[in-house]
Structure 1
Amino acid sequence: MSFSRSMDFASFFRRGFSTSTTTRSGVKTGLLMLNMGGPQNAAEVHPFLLRLFSDREIIKLPVQSVLGPWIAKRRAPSIAQKYAEIGGGSPILQWTDKQGKLLCDKLDKICPESGPHKHYVGFRYTPPLTEHALDAMIADGIEHAVAFSQYPQYSCATSGSSFNAIYNYMKNKTDGKMKWSLIDRWGTNRFLAKTFATLIRGELEKCDEVTRKNIVLLFTAHSLPMKAVERGDPYPAEVGATVQLVMEELKFAYPYRLVWQSKVGPLPWLSPATDAAIESYVKRGKKHLMLIPIAFTSEHIETLHELDIEYKELAEKAGVEKLLRCPAPNDNSVFIDALVDVVGKHLGEKRAVPPQYLLRCPMCENQTCGEARAFYKKNAFEFA
């Protein structure tokens, strides 16, 4: 499924990407599924990069209004080539939409008191943009909007920036009918851990006994600048917590490490880097490895190209005998159970704004973070 840049994204939410009636009175709870997004085709690559490198919530550059567009233009051809190598575009929209549909189908059955439910996809940098989704939710007359981060582990650069984007768009809206509750992190959900354990076992079952006996599990997650870590960003600890729960499900039967991928720029980021870890382990005689994208809920450029193409080539050159790759959750049935469990518990707990979200990083310097938290407290949905 692909979409042209000229698509009317109001019609996107009306045609085939909803799970229940779109009459204003027909939807009780709207689930806004938040993520960064990815280009659907080559034409979307430059706008994607332009939004990304112009966003100071993610990347702070000197003279950003000049340098951001310059970097976007310079990098667009090489990034477009990478998308061409994985089929022409990112599948993240298709997976997110399918996850949302399956989620709402189940919620309508097990949580009828909050239904009908309808999902909306809100991406930061590619259509459907967050503002497209918000306009659709307003048009549908949604009264209870659940901002549902699709990043299981919270980071200011991902979940935090998505919540800030909602605030920045909604703060000047005069219609205050739509009220909010937030799902800001869910990396310790047991069904999420079971999902990854199931997927890991599935890959190991395809292997010979020698590989299973010698395998090293490398849990790989998108890296983060050390400046963010030093401000108190909770992301590294939360990714580590997910890894521990997955290994509990696997009864700690295999050696494992957490490594970091997708560093951008020359400044220090979380380490060890995934590629460096692969090379180092080979030198130490560990030549049977599995890469597990522990912070990603669907396949996209970081899995399909970075893991499957770039790291595979690196591993072959380094002398890896067997490089396995655990698939992302996508529409795995246990993962859908995780989404249902996360949202169902959120609705059942009747707590609109989690206390952990309200606590800013100890060294936070982003004024918008404070303003956004005040917005959600003021516009919190009142559970019956």
Structure 2
Amino acid sequence: MKTAIVLFNLGGPDGPEAVKPFRVNLFSDKAIIRAPIFIRFWLSRLIAASSAKAAAANYELMGGKSPLLDLTQQQAKALEGELGDEVKTFIAMRYWHPFAKEAAQDVKAWNPDRILLLPLYPQFSTTTTGSSLTDWHEAAAAAGLAKPTTTLCCYFDDPDYVDSIAALVDRGIAEAKASLPPGVKLRLLFSAHGLPESIVTAGDPYQAQVEANTAAVMARLADKNVEHQVCYQSRATPQKWIGPSTIEAIEQAGRDQIAVLLVPIAFVSDHIETLVELDIENRELAAHHKVPGYFRATVPNADPAFIRALAGLTRRALAGTHGLCSHKNGRACGEKHKDCPWSRYRMGQNAA
């Protein structure tokens, strides 16, 4: 069967002139700024303008654009290589080109027998996968694209995915310890993108899935004695966000005089939050607080083990009988998470 795999990702500006509109698109998303549209319209522009110079400077550090599309294209090509000739990948970015509407038109032109929606977000959040799903369904309807579609909602503790991450962390631990003076201990900081606390309280399963993802990786590490902490980065609005923040965790490491290995647990591709926020800004913060060693684990990008894990997830999802699946086939998070897509899927079944 001809199978279209649609990869969801955030997107990023492809040049200096795209930085502002990309950020306006990001902060205009009702899944992120949960305010009435007339407030969101002005607030998105205010937030984008308030740090416009800093954002532009940060993208300049990466050559004036985000590397995210290039890296996602590499992942897409590698995944096609694993899955064979009857599979074609398409990329649907949420906040910059190629948008879902462009991807939907391309999928329609290819005319597949079926579609798999595959987020490059291991943990489900209404602000990432949920937002991309809404965007895709609107784009597919506008394009007149009607094909049997399966959605993979999350894979945060899928064994093959976890093994691929654990291998990268093992490598990072070995390299860090080889660089540290004798007697200096190491702490893993599993850093994920943060969320306003109100979104989690409302039922978003993201924080619970990040913590479960971390626990699964820790259970597979070769070093069973290394200590760890989950923390959250990239606060962007004035609300109270889930914590502790990555900044707070680094400051605490300075007080404890312990080296840190940053593990970007919610990111599978390098972009501004790994290459600038973690590698430059937080490294400088660590030096300021006299952290005795600062290291970062590699993100998967097109790592072969990660691509094989995605291929396995794809095969199992397509072999299932549901339009919605997780790596566990059924629901992967607890009933208290009312914004898990399975809650809405069940509501739809009951309504039918």
- TM-score under structure 2 length normalisation: 0.89
> Structure 1 stretches of 5 or more lacking a match?
1-26, 109-114, 379-384
Confirm or deny that 1:163 pairs with 2:139: no
Residues 201, 212 of structure 1: CA spacing in aligned structure 2 closer, same or farther, 3 A cutoff?
Answer: farther
Deviation at 1:362, TM superposition (A): 5.8
Confirm or deny that 1:41 pairs with 2:15: yes
The answer for the alignment partner of 1:292 in structure 2 is: 263
Deviation at 1:81, TM superposition (A): 0.9
Measure the CA separation in 2 of the matches of 1:180 and 1:359. Answer: 25
How high is the sequence identity, in percent, across the aligned residues? 30
> Structure 2 stretches of 5 or more lacking a match?
none
Task: Tell me how many residue pairs correspond in the alignment.
Answer: 340
Measure the CA separation in 1 of the matches of 2:183 and 2:137. Answer: 48
SS at match of 1:44: helix
The answer for the alignment partner of 2:66 in structure 1 is: 90
Measure the CA separation in 1 of the matches of 2:153 and 2:67. Answer: 23
Query: Relative to structure 2, which stretch is displaced further, 195-204 or 236-245?
Result: 195-204
Q: Give yes or no for contact 2:66–2:272 (8 Å, CA) kept in 1.
A: yes
Deviation at 1:129, TM superposition (A): 0.7
- Which of these residues, 113, 116, 125, is aligned with residue 95 of structure 2? 125
- Which of these residues, 174, 185, 189, is aligned with residue 218 of structure 1? 189
Measure the CA separation in 1 of the matches of 2:334 and 2:132. Answer: 16
- Root mean square deviation, CA, Å: 2.7
Deviation at 1:351, TM superposition (A): 2.9
The answer for the alignment partner of 1:81 in structure 2 is: 57
Measure the CA separation in 1 of the matches of 2:275 and 2:284. Answer: 13
Deviation at 1:127, TM superposition (A): 0.4
Deviation at 1:250, TM superposition (A): 0.8
AA paired with 2:148?
K
Confirm or deny that 1:135 pairs with 2:105: yes
Q: After superposition, where does 1:1-384 map in structure 2 within 5 Å? A: 28-61=2-35, 63-108=39-84, 116-174=86-144, 176=146, 178-206=147-175, 207-208=178-179, 210=181, 214-251=185-222, 252-286=224-258, 288-354=259-325, 355-356=330-331, 374=348
- TM-score under structure 1 length normalisation: 0.82
Deviation at 1:56, TM superposition (A): 0.9
AA paired with 2:6?
L
Q: Give yes or no for contact 1:233–1:361 (8 Å, CA) kept in 2.
A: no
Query: Relative to structure 2, which stretch is displaced further, 193-202 or 178-187?
Result: 193-202
Deviation at 1:85, TM superposition (A): 1.2
Measure the CA separation in 2 of the matches of 1:322 and 1:219. Answer: 16
Measure the CA separation in 2 of the matches of 1:353 and 1:298. Answer: 24
Measure the CA separation in 1 of the matches of 2:144 and 2:257. Answer: 63
Deviation at 1:349, TM superposition (A): 2.8
Residues 361, 174 of structure 1: CA spacing in aligned structure 2 closer, same or farther, 3 A cutoff?
Answer: farther
AA paired with 1:154?
F
Measure the CA separation in 2 of the matches of 1:134 and 1:187. Answer: 27
